[in-house]
Amino acid sequence: MAWTRTALSFAAVGVVVLKKDVVPGLIILCAAPVTWQLGRLAHRLRGRLELVTGTIVAVALAALIVAITH
């Protein structure tokens, strides 16, 4: 449930950012389905804690790159 909520949040923020700037908005929108799918996989895989940690770090790095470049 938390991953679905997080993915919906990414989609909502992506739409808002998309209205102002296209490239960062598309990047954030692309993160939404990836986050949702990784969250679904995390429940079935061994080592899911590492997967969750890696996902959080990857999304944070992507957000940092977008923030720095714009």
- Provide the pLDDT for residue 10: 81
Q: Could you tell me the residue ranges of all domains in the chain?
A: 2-69
- Provide the pLDDT for residue 1: 65
Cα maximum dimension of the chain: 40
Q: How far are the Cα atoms of 19, 20, 38 from residue 58, in angstroms, in the given order?
A: 24, 24, 12
- Provide the pLDDT for residue 70: 72
- Provide the pLDDT for residue 45: 64
pLDDT mean values, one per 10 residues, the chain (70 residues): 80 86 85 82 69 76 78
Backbone angles phi, psi at 41, to 5 degrees: -70, -30
- Provide the pLDDT for residue 42: 62
